[in-house]
Amino acid sequence: MKRNTEKLWQEMADMTLERCRKRCHDLGSCCSDFYCKMVANLLRGIETQRRFLFTKPKKTMASILGEMQRPFIHNNLMYNKFFVDFLVGNTIIEVFGDYWHGNPKFFPVPSMTLPSKKKDKSRIAYLSKCGHNVVVFWEDEIKNCPEVVAAVTGAVLEIKNEPHQ
């Protein structure tokens, strides 16, 4: 299955590249091969992110949502700006890795993780401003207290009236 998906995305990227070149030829102007290749690489990059970002904590969260019979979309591109971990109705559930996002429990010195913290904060603010409910769980919480995470997730989704399957 994995190989077929990679092949499909490669074919889509190649088709996009050919369409771009044909469009340039038909218009009598050229947007340059650089632009055409950039579009194709963008498609390849999206698929790479989709495959790469299903970590153990995210698998645990997916199973929690599955047990709750909540339909969700994993690794969804929002507003052509951000990939969110889980989209459940209007609620976004983010699973922050302890190292990558700088869990203060393990990284008490803020200077080490300040750039990622600023980026995360502005991203959450933007998504909230767009009307989404954003819930963040740390990798450590999911690993050590999955039942608490499940209870909090269920409570948040009930309060926000997100539909069951």
Supply the pLDDT for residue 70. 83
Tokens 């949502």 map to which residue?
A: 65
Query: Would the pLDDT of 122 be above 60?
Result: yes
In the chain, the domains with their CATH numbers are 2-51 (no CATH), 56-159 (3.40.960.10)
Supply the pLDDT for residue 95. 93
Query: Would the pLDDT of 160 be above 90?
Result: no
- Pairwise pLDDT comparison (25 vs 108), residue with the higher score: 108
Give the confidence band of 126 by pLDDT, cuts at 50, 70, 90.
very high
Q: Distance between the two ends of the chain, CA-based, in angstroms?
A: 26
Is there a contact between 60 and 146 (Cβ–Cβ < 8 Å)? yes
Query: Would the pLDDT of 99 be above 90?
Result: no
Taking CA atoms, 65 is separated from 19, 52, 88, 163, in Å, by 40, 20, 9, 12
pTM of the model: 0.65
